[in-house]
A and B are shown apart, each in its own frame.
Chain A
Amino acid sequence: MPFTAKSGKFSASINTLTMGTGEKAIVLGGENVLPFYTFDAPIENAPKVGIEITDGGLEAEPECVKKYYEGCETIVDMAKKAATFEGVDFLSIHLEGGDPNGENKPTEELIKIVKEVAEAVDLPIVISGCKNVEKDSEIFAKASEVLSGKNAVMLAAKEENYKNVGASAGLAYKQIVGAESADDINLAKQLNVLLTQLGVDAKSIVMNVGTAAAGYGYEYVVSTMDRIKAAALQQGDATLQMPIITPVASETWGIKESIATEEDMPEWGDQEARGIDMEVETAAADLASGSNAVILKHPVSVATISKMIKALV
């Protein structure tokens, strides 16, 4: 008697969403099964992997990442180089230097970087904000303008600034609006509803439902994604059928497991391996729980996760 599994195919599916334009455009979502459950139904659009560079340029990168960008003098050089790494589907420009409580770089300076990078690479682009809601509103509005027609993702609108970001990125410039909430299905849903009420097309919303580095309250990430996918697919809840994008690098490259040097923690061993594995293991868990795209920093992490995705889809 052979093993017969009941199919877990759902009648509802995740929205499909195209990022970028032209040959390098990528499609997120579309599946009607749980993550990687290809035995239930084929998954047409495999999850995608993005690489992150920041407005801080080479200087701001961890030592172990710098060597991969050898010879790069500008951020544009880095972006061009990043586009050549194995497994890279899209580019995320993380404008963390805009934070008023940090470097507080003027918006114009950041937008100049965005513009130059966008002209130099043809990959789909994600603009990751500085986390300050007022500054992000400004950054996303301007970035949306200079990226007009590029189908870029603005990551992300939050409850506090969804109106600004939704109106500028989503309505005025027809970019893709990221909707960020913190590990709570109801908050995620509420934000999607508010954005669509504002007039943003539900099909051009991508969610960041919150993430954490493995070990740092990651149970909330797993359960939030599990529940969102269940609601989207099983319950057919259209307000949660947006694909999920998860910025991993910004979480994992800030914690001590990744950044403590070997001198500080001799028993932990090689720092680069730790940084990569923290990034890779967090990303793998994100993808297994439902992310349709992850954003990573280390080129080896990108290649590894891309390989894992290919092996699974």
Chain B
Amino acid sequence: MTLFDVVFSGNDAVYGLTENAINEAIAKYGEDKAVAFPDTAYSLPCYYGVTGTKVGNLGELKAALGVVKTLMTREQKLNDAFMSGVATALCAEFIEVLKYIDGATPYEAPCYGHLADAVIRELGVPLVTGDIPGVAVLLGAAPTTEDAVALVKSYQSQGILVTLTGGIIDQLEEAGYKTGANVRVIPLGKDVTSVIHVVSVAIRAALIFGNVTPGDAGALMEYTMKRVPAFVNAFAPLDPVIVACGAGAIALGFPVVTNEDTFKVPKSLINQPDVSKFNATSLEARDIKIKITNIDIPVAYASAFEGEIIRRKDMQVEFDGSRVDCFELVQTKEMSEIEDHKIELIGPDIDTFEVGSKHSLAYIVEVAGKSMQADFEPVIERKFHSYLNCVEGAYHTGQRDMFRIRIGKDTFAAGFRAKHIGEILYAKVKSEFAAVVDKCQVKIITDAELCTKLRHELAIPVFDKRDERLLTLTDESVDVYYSCIMCQAFSPSHVCVVTPERLGLCGAVSWLDAKATNELDPQGPCQVITKERPIDERIGEYEDVNEAVNKFSQGALDDVSLYSIIEKPMTSCGCFECICGIEPLSNGVCIANREYAGMTPIGMTFSELASMTGGGVQTPGFMGHGKHFIASKKFMKAEGGVARIVWMPKELKEQVAERLNATAKELYNIDNFSDMIGDETIAEDPETLLAFLEEKGHPALSMEPMM
């Protein structure tokens, strides 16, 4: 028998039962006898939701069964199986509603049977907000009472709503386990058909919260699939009726996990022989993420502790990357390689260390997720500093393999140990990067030899690879850029277009940062900008970039170039690290950084330049930018590139010299280019600067006139 055959036979069986039950009821009460569930405005919610038709009496119910019959096609195709599943569910609803005929109260505590609209409204809000992260539909009897209790408890502790149908109700009762809507464990009923009451919840949620029009079955199924995070755990043995019901569940988007070795449908009908793994398997199948709300450590955790400094005399133990081998690392893994929330300590714990001693430490945070990308690793890693600093009585400086951590005596005395570092990193990474990290585990290594080995064999190669990636990441090598409009609060029309070679002008937002921000907060300040329709490659102007800038500036700006400061230069907000401006006499540009208070050869100080350049207005000849951009090959590319730089404050020049020289060497084969650039010790006026440039043979003097 195929899976389809099983579904069809289960469906046929239930249909037969339903038909008999309706006929019997009509014989007894007549066709005009009213049928209804109590306390709902949605008639027979499942039937009403799927067809848009309300059923009021037995005659109409019979007619409805005729409609159900039309769903029961019998080709060996997936759709036929799904529709038969839906038909089975509807039949179950009919059987259940008949139980309520003549004002009967078919369900007694602990079973609920039909749930009132008021309950749906109450449960619906936390379902929509994610406070109830999922709905577990448990069907049948678990292998043992202990298994039943353990499974229900595991869901309950995650805030998941549990509904029970069949034998498991007796199992929980036997164990004396507390059930009820208030503890979010709801026994529905002992007949299989009572499972329809949870389906009814899902359907009414779609009608109430999803504004789905009754009868719009497509929209209904889309809503339940996307917005109702339900799944089914069906315990062996499965009979054809249960399989047919399962097909109905799958049609609504709810995967079925079972411990019976039966047919498998990827992502929908999943075999998990180990009932203790039902939880993990179900959550992964339904893509349910559990929010982490508290961090399990023995001391306080708050941003108020971020600025604490632990002095030597107060220090229990120290890990210092500058003296011994240490490193911190995020690594992306496959989903199957990670056991969520596993914290592993390799080596001795802190309590074996002498007071005031120095040790090696490495922690590797391994993450996996459908939307995780290796590019986010450094973004996550960079947050470790503030994550660990928020611990009361602990402090962290530096990064990569050059960090230092000190743990205070009081914190140690309160019970803080190595694994707590893992708890913090786990909780923070899972909560703050929930959009990309589905699973996370942490390895903490205090074994000195292993630290040394892994630092050289694992960490340093990764860091080198990342640095190389940053170097090779060019504007041409990526498909999209990002907007950044974080500054619009005070510079309303300003939009930064962040590209790999041109970070945000504040210096704080790189292309990778913007990419991660976009992924984590899709409605946030960083939006994807495509660059598929170039207008002028020389100045870096694109139709799609212009459209984006127009949109994000609310129409204040029509066009920008990415690589020119003369033609449609990018605007500046107010928080630029540097401003460059044309110095006409020397046919180049001067750059002033924010820290520089003196005069520039342009005849304006940084603050004078800033007042002309800021505010999101295009000012040809002047532009705000980040320090890092100075050595970029895209810096003023349209005007000839970095060779145009004729003057910078000494301090800034020293900061960028190495990278700038490398760029100049590559672009123009000029050695030590930074020595040709003037600074305030050489000139603060254009004439003296020009004399200096002529003496040095600065390339700008022989370039095309800028204007």
Chain A residues engaging chain B, CB cutoff 8 angstroms: 141, 145, 163-164, 166-168, 171-173, 183-186, 190, 193-194, 198-199, 201, 220, 223, 227, 230-231, 234-235, 237
Contact = CB atoms under 8 A, between A and B. Distances in A.
A185 B523 CA distance: 13
B433 interface: no
A190 B211 CA distance: 22
Nearest to B550: A235
Contacts of B492: 185, 223, 227
B489 A184 contact: yes
Contact of B211 (A186, A201, A223): A201
B610 interface: no
Interface string B614-627: 00000000000000
B209 A167 contact: yes
Contact of A199 (B130, B209, B525, B554): B209
B251 to A, nearest CB: 22
B458 to A, nearest CB: 40
Contact of B209 (A141, A171, A186, A220): A171
B210 interface: yes
Contacts of B477: none
Interface in B465-524: 485, 488-489, 492, 523-524
A163 B208 CA distance: 15
Contact of A172 (B121, B488, B551, B555): B121
A145 B554 contact: no
Contact of B554 (A164, A173, A235): A235
Given A173-B121, A193-B523, A235-B555, A164 B129 contact: yes
B125 interface: yes
B124 interface: yes
B128 A227 contact: no
A227 B554 CA distance: 8
Nearest to A236: B555
Nearest to A220: B489
Nearest to B121: A172
Interface in B111-149: 121, 124-125, 128-131
| Nearest 5 pairs of A and B residues by beta carbon | A163-B129, A167-B128, A171-B209, A172-B121, A167-B125
18 contacts: A145-B121, A167-B124, A167-B125, A167-B129, A167-B209, A171-B209, A183-B489, A186-B485, A186-B525, A190-B523, A193-B523, A199-B128, A199-B210, A201-B211, A223-B492, A230-B554, A231-B554, A234-B555
Interface of B: 121, 124-125, 128-131, 208-211, 485, 488-489, 492, 523-525, 551, 554-555
Contacts of A141: 125
Contact of A171 (B208, B523, B551): B208
Contacts of B209: 167, 171-172, 199
B514 to A, nearest CB: 15
A172 B208 CA distance: 6
Nearest to A201: B211
B213 to A, nearest CB: 13
Contacts of A145: 121
B488 A185 contact: yes
A190 B125 contact: no
A281 to B, nearest CB: 25
A17 B409 CA distance: 61
Contacts of B551: 235
A190 B524 contact: yes
B128 A198 contact: yes
Nearest to A231: B554
Contacts of B130: 163
Nearest to B555: A235
Contacts of B485: 186
Contacts of A198: 128
A163 B131 CA distance: 10
A232 to B, nearest CB: 10
Contacts of A193: 523
A172 B121 CA distance: 6
A184 B486 CA distance: 10
B488 A186 contact: yes
Contacts of A201: 211
A184 B488 contact: yes
A172 B523 contact: no
Given A185-B492, A186-B485, A164 B524 contact: no
Contacts of B525: 186
Contacts of B121: 145, 168, 172-173
Contacts of B124: 167, 171-172
A278 B131 CA distance: 42
A229 B699 CA distance: 50
Contacts of B129: 163-164, 167
A279 B554 CA distance: 31
A264 B525 CA distance: 47
A171 B208 CA distance: 6
Contacts of B489: 183-184, 220
A204 to B, nearest CB: 11
A192 B488 CA distance: 18
A161 to B, nearest CB: 8
Contacts of A185: 488, 492, 554
A168 B208 CA distance: 10
A163 B524 CA distance: 17
A184 B125 CA distance: 28
A183 B555 CA distance: 19
A199 B121 CA distance: 15
Contact of A168 (B125, B211, B523): B125
A167 B123 CA distance: 11
A184 B523 CA distance: 14
Given A168-B125, A186-B525, A230-B555, 14 more contacts: A163-B128, A163-B129, A164-B131, A167-B125, A167-B128, A167-B129, A172-B209, A173-B121, A183-B489, A184-B488, A185-B492, A199-B128, A235-B551, A237-B554
B680 to A, nearest CB: 36
A155 to B, nearest CB: 18
A134 to B, nearest CB: 11
Contacts of A186: 485, 488, 525
Nearest to A171: B209
A131 to B, nearest CB: 19
B427 to A, nearest CB: 19
Contacts of A190: 523-524
A199 B524 contact: no
Contacts of A164: 125, 129, 131
A190 B523 CA distance: 6
B553 to A, nearest CB: 10
B267 to A, nearest CB: 25
A171 B128 contact: yes
A198 B485 CA distance: 24
A197 to B, nearest CB: 8
Kindly name the residue among A183, A186, A231 whose own CB sees the greatest number of chain B CB atoms within 10 A.
Answer: A186
Contacts of A231: 554-555
Contacts of A230: 554-555
A234 B550 CA distance: 12
A201 to B, nearest CB: 7
A193 B522 CA distance: 11
Nearest to B492: A227
A186 to B, nearest CB: 6
Nearest to A184: B489
A194 B522 CA distance: 10
A190 B492 CA distance: 16
Nearest to A187: B489
Contacts of A194: 523
Nearest to A197: B523
A35 to B, nearest CB: 18
Contacts of A223: 492
Contacts of A172: 121, 124-125, 208-209
A230 B130 CA distance: 35
A190 B124 CA distance: 23
Nearest to A226: B492
Nearest to A169: B125
